[in-house]
Amino acid sequence: MNSSWLVSRWVFLRLLGVIYFAAFASLFVQVDGLIGSHGILPVPEFLAAVRDQLGDHRLRAVPSLCWLNPGDGFLHGLCAIGCLGSILLVLNIAPALVLVVLYAAFLSLQAVGQDFLAFQWDILLLEAGFLAVWLAPRGFRPGAGRAAPVAARWLLWWLLFRLMVASGAVKLLSGDPAWRSLMALTVHYQTQPIPNPAAWYAHQLPAWVHRLSCEAMFAIELGAPWLITGPRLFRLAGAALLGGLQLLILATGNYAYFNWLTIALILLLLDDGAWPAWLRRRLVSRPAAREWPAALTWPVAGLVLAGSLVVFTAQLRLPMRWPRPVVAVHDTLSTFRLVNGYGLFAVMTTTRPEIILEGSDDGRTWLSYEFRYKAGDVRRRPPFVAPHQPRLDWQMWFAALGSYQQSPWFVRFCVKVLEGEPEVLALLAGNPFPAEPPRYLRAVVRDYTFTTPAERRADGSWWRRSDPRIFLPAISLNLHGMKRRNVTA
């Protein structure tokens, strides 16, 4: 039985359904404030600009069903279809067809999401979701099948290989001294975008533990993927190492559904013999499934392999000159986010600047807007929030690493707060100006660091922070040209 992967396919597809649900549901509750018609980066404005600039080439640049209808109802509809489709996938109802719908719906949202849907797990979900179409059995209520399609399984193994090897390679190729010295983890836990409580405890570990952890991470990311190609025992050992690393990352950080999706890919390395006998018996008793014909899956595999090699070798800085047809395949597939480059934290951030948004009616007394999840109040415990991703909070972390001029969306966000847009204010934890928006708005930045155990025992603070410095000077609306909207708390 251990020569087949029917149980792994069954588990992977259901986990993928759960992950898709997390992605769509998380976006559903934020989409109005982020990219809705009254949001920070409205989809109608974005599509109008793309149409004006690209004309007939707009569909290639932005492959989205939102060209049919850019309204808020359509955005919510895509999220709702995604949630429903995810449930159907978990229930094994027309899985292949449902996966096509899920891919199309998420691609449509990602393509118009601009800064707020430009994360690596978003494109990883699209790539894995597309490949899962060819792994899934066909039919309305398919059984376990006799053998999962080999080509599709190998493509998903290849995706996992690229993801992990690139994650390690980009850190070394960047030349970043924090990674080269193996001391990056001494700052990582407190400088990552949204730490959780376990990150505070991990940060307190001695430097030699952080160094040893960094060495182990490189060994796993750069070494364990090669075990995939070896005998069964090697492959299972590789799965254990890769899975253990993902569980540790998941336990000490909030990376949306990224780690869960990676774990789902890792589970595909387990053949049927690695799963409990009761689960094998349950699946084998089901009727056989109709599989995709090899005459279709192998050509698809060839195209995806060719396109992915272009981006993978470029990431590793290998001097390859690919034939024009191969480059054309890459360009076409990348348009639909089907071949992508990966690798988080190529350069480790060694400090944690945090933007604090403040409003005032008189220009002298300033009140702070509190965000739901990012660091603010020094006594508030860091949250567990994954697999939900608060996308505004994440973008605030990126904006703090540069200037406001480098993040045009941030100024638009500030204007929406001054206008009192309820959809945008709903993304925040609270509104210090419940009656009407403030007359002035500014942003300061403070450097945050985790407290020591002694400091936390003294006053309960999780963070300590520096004195503020100006990030965005005070701004005010031109009340003759723009109308403020009254809001409620």
Q: Residue 377 and residue 446: Cα distance in Å, rounded?
A: 12
The pLDDT, as a whole number, for residue 21 is 98
Residues 445 and 404 in one domain: yes
Residues 283 and 430 in one domain: no
- Confirm if 339 and 127 have CB atoms less than 8 A apart: yes
The pLDDT, as a whole number, for residue 149 is 87
Residues 152 and 286 in one domain: yes
Is there a domain that residue 54 lies in?
yes
Q: Residue 350 and residue 190: Cα distance in Å, rounded?
A: 9
Is there a domain that residue 487 lies in?
no
Cα distances from 348 to residues 136, 151, 246, 281, 451, in angstroms, run: 38, 37, 18, 47, 20
The pLDDT, as a whole number, for residue 286 is 62
Residue range 419-440, pLDDT digits in tens? 999 999 999 999 999 999 999 9
The pLDDT, as a whole number, for residue 284 is 66
Secondary-structure percent of the chain, ordered helix, strand, coil, rounded to 5: 60, 5, 35
In the chain, which residues have pLDDT < 70? 1-3, 144, 146, 284-288, 478-489
- Tell the burial category of 121 from Cβ atoms under 10 Å away from its Cβ (0-12, 13-18, 19+): buried
- 195, 193, 209, 182: which is closest to 451 by C-alpha? 195
Instruction: List 465's β-bridge partners, or say none.
Output: 448
Token pair 């979900």 is at which residue?
Answer: 125
Number of domains forming the structure of the chain: 2
Boundary (domain end) residue, out of 303, 335, 367 = 335
Residues 379 and 279 in one domain: no
Is there a domain that residue 348 lies in?
no
- Look up the domain containing 467 and give its range: 353-475
Helix, strand or coil, per DSSP, at residue 382: coil
Backbone angles phi, psi at 318, to 5 degrees: -85, 135
- Tell the burial category of 484 from Cβ atoms under 10 Å away from its Cβ (0-12, 13-18, 19+): middle
Say if pTM beats, i.e. exceeds, 0.85: yes
Instruction: List 469's β-bridge partners, or say none.
Output: 445
Is there a domain that residue 482 lies in?
no
Q: Residue 172 and residue 178: Cα distance in Å, rounded?
A: 10
Which amino acid is it at 416? K
The pLDDT, as a whole number, for residue 338 is 95
Boundary (domain end) residue, out of 308, 335, 362 = 335
Neighbours of 130 (CB within 10 A): 23
Q: Which residues contact 35 (CB under 8 A, 6 or more apart)?
A: 41, 42, 43, 46, 75, 112, 113, 114, 116
Q: Residue 100 and residue 87: Cα distance in Å, rounded?
A: 14
